[in-house]
Chain A
Amino acid sequence: DTGVSQNPRHKITKRGQNVTFRCDPISEHNRLYWYRQTLGQGPEFLTYFQNEAQLEKSRLLSDRFSAERPKGSFSTLEIQRTEQGDSAMYLCASSPTDRGVYGYTFGSGTRLTVV
C-alpha cells in the first residue's frame, strides 16, 4: 500500500470553471476525509465518508462543492463555478473507523489556484 494518493498535485483554473480532484485512500481504511488548508492556517474540515455514506458536511462546503465516494473506495471532490477564494490546498485523509492512536493518514494534497 502506497498510502493516501491525491491527483492532481497542482491545478490552475480560470474563475468560473469546474474542477474535480481525486483521492485514493489506504485500502483497509473505511473513513475518508476532505480538508481545506489556506496559507498560514491549519486544515479545516470539509466533509467525511464512512464507506460510501457521506456522514457530515461542514458549513464551509457551499452548494458549489460536492463530494462522492461511490463504491466506498476512492473519492472525488468537485468545485463548480470556481472563485478566487477557492484557491487553497485540498487535503484528503483516511483512517480506520476506530482511529485511536493512528490518527489520520494524509495525502500530499492538491493545490488549487484560481486565476
Chain B
Amino acid sequence: GEDVEQSLFLSVREGDSSVINCTYTDSSSTYLYWYKQEPGAGLQLLTYIFSNMDMKQDQRLTVLLNKKDKHLSLRIADTQTGDSAIYFCAEDFGNEKLTFGTGTRLTIIP
C-alpha cells in the first residue's frame, strides 16, 4: 500500500540549512510535492519534483530524490524565522489523490 513517513520534529539555528526527510513505500509515483502549513492555515505548495528527476532547485529550496532508497528530502538554505511551520511531503501515485506524510515541525532557534 501507499505509506509516506517523516520525522516529526526538526530544530535549526537561524541562518543554517534545514533538511527535512521523507520516505515512501510505493515507487509508482509520478510527482512528489512539498507543502508548508503555518498555524491555523491550509497547505501551501512549495515545490515539486517529477519522479524521473534526481534534483530540483528553486531559490532557497533544493529537493533531492533517491528512487532506489525511496527517499525524498527538502533542503532550505539560510533558514529564517518565517520558515517555522509544518512541512509535508506528498506523493501523486496517479490514482487521483495525493498521499501525505505525517508532517515535520520545523522550529527555528534564534
Using a CB–CB cutoff of 8 Å, the interface residues on chain A facing chain B are: 4, 6, 33, 40-45, 48, 55-56, 91, 93, 99-109, 111
Contact = CB atoms under 8 A, between A and B. Distances in A.
A12 to B, nearest CB: 15
A103 B45 contact: yes
A102 B42 contact: no
Majority secondary structure, B binding face: strand
Contacts of A106: 35, 42-44
Given A41-B102, A42-B102, A42-B103, A104 B96 contact: no
Contacts of B42: 4, 6, 91, 106-109
18 contacts: A4-B42, A33-B97, A41-B102, A42-B101, A43-B43, A44-B100, A56-B96, A56-B97, A91-B43, A93-B43, A101-B50, A103-B92, A104-B43, A104-B45, A106-B42, A108-B40, A108-B42, A109-B42
Size band of the interface chain B makes with A: 20 to 34
Contacts of A56: 96-97
Contact of B103 (A4, A41, A48, A102): A41
Nearest to A46: B97
Given A42-B102, A42-B103, A100 B45 contact: no
B24 interface: no
Interface of B: 4, 8, 31, 33, 35, 40-45, 48, 50, 88, 90, 92, 96-103
